[in-house]
Structure 1
Amino acid sequence: MHVELRSDTFTLPTQAMREAMFAAPLGDDVFGEDPSVNALEQKVAEMFGMEAALFCVSGTQTNQIAMSVHLSKGQEVICDELSHIYLYEGGGIMANAGASVKLLKGDLGRLTRAQIEAAISPDDIHACESKLVSLENTVNKGGGSVYSSESLQEISDFCRHINIPLHLDGARIFNAMAVTGQTPKQFGAWFDSISVCLSKGLGAPVGSVLLGSHAFIKQARRVRKRLGGGWRQAGLLAAAGIYALDQHVTRLKEDHARAKEIALICAGLPWVDSILPVTTNIVIVQLKEGIRSVDQVAELKSKGIFCAPFGPQYIRFVTHLNFDDAALSAFKAQIIQ
């Protein structure tokens, strides 16, 4: 059996989602006339208690649009060294916004108010201006780690106090909420802009939504067009996003439970040294000394288990909508062959 655990981006639309897609009313989104896109944007904005939203092709696009709106050339964004916006978006902060990055070392990718406060550049012409703080929740490279409400409130209060915007890369934000019990409206109150992915744990085929104020989204729409991101009858994809938000949020806890089972299985394997704490749907395994991740990934692939190298001695497993109990049983049987 093919056991797919490389990423939650490998999910395929369910039959019900496909039916919703084909039934979607369509128009030209560049002209603002696709009713399904408009409905998705309104739905997500209202869900998070924010003024406006913009439907885009990917989380990288929404993050990079946010960087370009918030930052100007010669300014900097403060983020953790494990941040997706820094590691996995093709150098977009520099290429798109012309901005610099100040990297901090947090706890599994999570920063504190004290760290951020200490990192703010002085008001000095020799220093790069600190003009944005960006957090990630859950933290991909942190093994799906999540922020507490107390920490987010402290960081939000500080950023508001010094008048620096706070952005959230919320690619797996609904996974975080499934653990903490936080609500979308809480995040809308904490952050000035939010990127929400629909194509990971929620199982839509394509798309992310960028949230912010009316003025912010107006600028974001212009940047999206400049990046070639204006699309036409995108309502087919927006309908999938609407269906995912309505049907696939509450089931995320199932993915988390299966991720914990994977961690328990892996803990007893002879090639495993340690495992990062498993909070959501990501399992990051550290290999024993002398074992390379590319070799171990190849070995698992030969057994029908597909996972991803995550550094020289780390591999990542990610549970998702299409990884069910039968797949978990197959994983357990095949990994010990």
Structure 2
Amino acid sequence: MAFDNGVADFRSDTVTRPTLAMRKAMAEAEVGDDVYGEDPEINRLQDEAAAIVAKEAALFVASGTMANQIAVGAHTRIGDEVLVARGAHVRQWEASAAQANSGVAIREVDAPAGAIDLDQLGGYLNQRADDHVGVYRLVSLENTFNGSLVPLDHMARAISIARDAGASVHLDGARLFNAAVAAGVEPSEVAAGTDTVAFCFSKGLGAPVGSVICGPSETIREARRIRKRLGGGMRQAGVLAAAARVALAGWRRLEEDHVLASNLALALRDVPGVGDIAQVDSNMVIIEQEHFPVDISRFLTELEAQGILCGKLSSTTMRIVCHQDVDSHDVERLVGVVRALVD
């Protein structure tokens, strides 16, 4: 359902508000000083997060960007290069943090719908012995990728190529649970074979704040040091972890968001003039201007005037994200605006 002010916000699943259960858990949270490792709620969350992705340990951090940047710092040395899918979040949406914080370069590899080109990946990794190029010490994968599910068998092949070359593998699983739902598997299967994995509590899971990085105990010990270096040590943050624990326990609810997004895509395809809409794997509908009968900027302005918000990935690409705070009525409102503009 729309927010109390009547606005239906499809810009991102980051706009979700904490549920009553989350607020209650926050109010009742048992807290301590997490920099000393003494916050019971955070310790429980870290144990639960590590267990659900079958890793040894986990570290609660402020954001997905911080989780990814900690992983880059933990796996690399100054002057190394990190291989990522073209358009990856760690490359495009993290304010050049890897370069600024860890002194590494980012090398993009072609990756249709996030599935990294395996030949290119292998080609770069085979250059590790060449003193003329940086050392490719880390491969960072992403799943889901702009809402698309990267096939798990493809991920496994990429991980195998990295392993054979002696490179570490990090998974930016900001929406890892959407990937698990889309693939019909447990979250641990999405994270299988990776050295570290990060995921967000504050996107589709619906918590107000927080992400986590999971991996071997030794790596997470180093991650704690890097978190401190980034100013990310939080004290009585169990009030945040309490909401995250509620969110984590309810991850299977994401199926509802996927169904809603799929229904939205189907409804839009029935509107005269709307062309091919990209396959909907999870909770996002991606629309390109070439397949849409109305100028996207004009459409977004009209939507906003009617209390509906959507986002743009670029001047020609619109993103509509379904989450726990929008429903079928809001979808009908959105589709109604499209029909009115086309008519």
TM score, norm. by length of structure 2: 0.92
Q: What letter is aligned with 1:282?
A: M
Answer with 29-38 or 100-109: which moved more.
100-109
Q: What letter is aligned with 2:297?
A: V
2 CA distance for matches of 1:186 and 1:115? 25
Matches within 5 A, 1:88-167: 88-120=93-125, 121-140=127-146, 144-167=147-170
Q: Give the secondary structure class of the aligned counterpart of 2:192.
A: helix
Deviation at 1:267, TM superposition (A): 2.6
Aligned partners of 1:55 and 1:209 also within 8 Å = yes
Q: Give the secondary structure class of the aligned counterpart of 1:251.
A: helix
Matched, 1:21 2:23: no
1 CA distance for matches of 2:294 and 2:82? 36
Matched, 1:264 2:269: no
Calculate the aligned-residue CA RMSD, in Å: 1.8
1 CA distance for matches of 2:203 and 2:148? 16
Deviation at 1:115, TM superposition (A): 3.0
2 CA distance for matches of 1:291 and 1:332? 13
1 CA distance for matches of 2:302 and 2:333? 16
Matches within 5 A, 1:10-89: 10-89=15-94
- Residue 302 of structure 2 aligns with which residue? 299
The answer for unaligned runs of 5 or more in structure 2 is 1-5
Aligned partners of 1:272 and 1:288 also within 8 Å = no
The answer for unaligned runs of 5 or more in structure 1 is none
Q: Give the secondary structure class of the aligned counterpart of 2:136.
A: strand
Q: Give the secondary structure class of the aligned counterpart of 2:301.
A: helix
2 CA distance for matches of 1:292 and 1:54? 44
2 CA distance for matches of 1:273 and 1:71? 44
Deviation at 1:225, TM superposition (A): 0.6
Answer with 15-24 or 110-119: which moved more.
110-119
1 CA distance for matches of 2:245 and 2:9? 25
- Residue 322 of structure 1 aligns with which residue? 325
Deviation at 1:182, TM superposition (A): 2.4
Of residues 186, 211, 217, the one that matches 2:189 is: 186
- Residue 275 of structure 1 aligns with which residue? 277
- Superposed CA deviations along residues 11-33 of structure 1, whole A, max 9, x for unmatched, are 00111111111111011111111
Answer with 266-275 or 12-21: which moved more.
266-275
2 CA distance for matches of 1:189 and 1:177? 12
Q: Give the secondary structure class of the aligned counterpart of 1:278.
A: coil
2 CA distance for matches of 1:49 and 1:309? 35
Deviation at 1:235, TM superposition (A): 0.5
Deviation at 1:302, TM superposition (A): 1.7
Deviation at 1:329, TM superposition (A): 2.9
Of residues 4, 7, 11, the one that matches 1:2 is: 7
Q: What letter is aligned with 1:135?
A: L
Aligned partners of 1:274 and 1:287 also within 8 Å = no
Structure 1 residues 271 and 67, CA gap change in structure 2 (3 angstroms): farther
Of residues 191, 199, 212, the one that matches 1:209 is: 212
Answer with 325-334 or 225-234: which moved more.
325-334
2 CA distance for matches of 1:189 and 1:260? 27
2 CA distance for matches of 1:79 and 1:291? 34
Aligned partners of 1:293 and 1:310 also within 8 Å = no
- Superposed CA deviations along residues 256-299 of structure 1, whole A, max 9, x for unmatched, are 11111221233344674442211100111011389654333222
Matches within 5 A, 1:216-231: 216-231=219-234
Residue identity over aligned pairs, in percent, reads 39
Deviation at 1:179, TM superposition (A): 1.3
1 CA distance for matches of 2:187 and 2:36? 29
Deviation at 1:68, TM superposition (A): 1.2
Matched, 1:284 2:286: yes
2 CA distance for matches of 1:153 and 1:332? 39
Aligned partners of 2:288 and 2:316 also within 8 Å = yes
Across the two proteins, how many residue pairs are aligned to each other?
333
